[in-house]
């Protein structure tokens, strides 16, 4: 995958003639790892929730909302809890799923496909939802993984501000490391609300990204995989 790169300027506002807003709208990402501060976990989850609630209350106030209204006064706390405990819980390594491998005693040496794994993520450029399905496949190198753990790996990486290309590669790398094989395939088909609900407001388009490793670079294997997914 060819990625555009830009040199970060001193003022942080323009990169090689492109504004930060333009770069975000161009759907770029800067690397495989989710951009995190070195002291990202200096605060506890509870401290983060208190801080987010305070700041979100400020945002609501700036927008002119009446925070004394019964329907709104609990919103800052609800948003803070949702951010830390739910939709962005994948930022915290402590929430990474623990995976146990088992010997492939059945001697099943063909591809295993787990398809239509539904996920909800959020675009890191506008913090609006990405909704889609992930299809995973691997060929055992002698070990197998519980099927539910495949789902959990997808959810872990989806629950953070994301770009679909990065999400695809993060899932693929995790599966390669866990299963100790290059024979991995990841296909993500997703709808981006930053496209459908704002900007161009195209409600019909979808984005597909793929990762094919090892044996899945064979066109016949790719065709076989897509036949499984489509039927």
Catalytic residues: 123-126, 164, 192, 194
- Helix or strand or coil: residue 85? helix
Instruction: Please provide the DSSP assignment of 73-138 as one string.
Output: TTHHHHHHHHIIIIITGGGSGGGSPP--EEE-TT---SEEEEEEEEEEEEETTT--EEEEEEEEEE
**Burial of residue 132, with CB atoms counted within 10 A of its CB: 0-12 exposed, 13-18 middle, 19 or more buried:** buried
| Beta carbons within 8 Å of 226's beta carbon, 6+ residues apart | none
Tell me the helix, strand and coil percentages in the chain, rounded to 5.
Answer: 40, 20, 40
Contact 128, 122 (CB under 8 A): yes
């Amino acid at each position: 995958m060819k990625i555009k790169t830009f040199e970060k300027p001193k003022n942080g506002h323009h990169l090689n003639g492109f504004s930060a807003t333009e770069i975000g709208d161009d759907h770029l990402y800067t690397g495989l790892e989710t951009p995190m501060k070195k002291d990202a976990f200096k605060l506890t989850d509870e401290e983060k929730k208190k801080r987010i609630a305070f700041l979100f209350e400020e945002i609501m106030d700036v927008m002119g909302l009446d925070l004394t209204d019964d329907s709104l006064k609990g919103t800052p706390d609800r948003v803070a809890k949702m951010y830390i405990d739910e939709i962005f819980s994948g930022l915290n390594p402590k929430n990474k799923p623990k995976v146990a491998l088992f010997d492939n005693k059945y001697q099943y040496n063909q591809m295993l496909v787990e398809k239509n794994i539904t996920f909800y993520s959020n675009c890191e450029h506008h913090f609006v939802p990405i909704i889609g399905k992930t299809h995973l496949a691997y060929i055992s190198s002698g070990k197998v993984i519980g099927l539910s753990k495949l789902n959990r790996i997808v959810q872990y990486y989806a629950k953070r501000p994301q770009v679909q290309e990065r999400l695809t590669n993060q899932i693929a790398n995790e599966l390669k490391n866990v299963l100790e094989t290059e024979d991995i395939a990841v296909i993500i088909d997703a709808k981006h609300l930053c496209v459908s609900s704002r900007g161009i407001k195209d409600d019909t388009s979808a984005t597909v990204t793929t990762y094919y490793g090892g044996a899945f670079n064979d066109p016949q294997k790719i065709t076989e995989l897509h036949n499984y997914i489509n039927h």
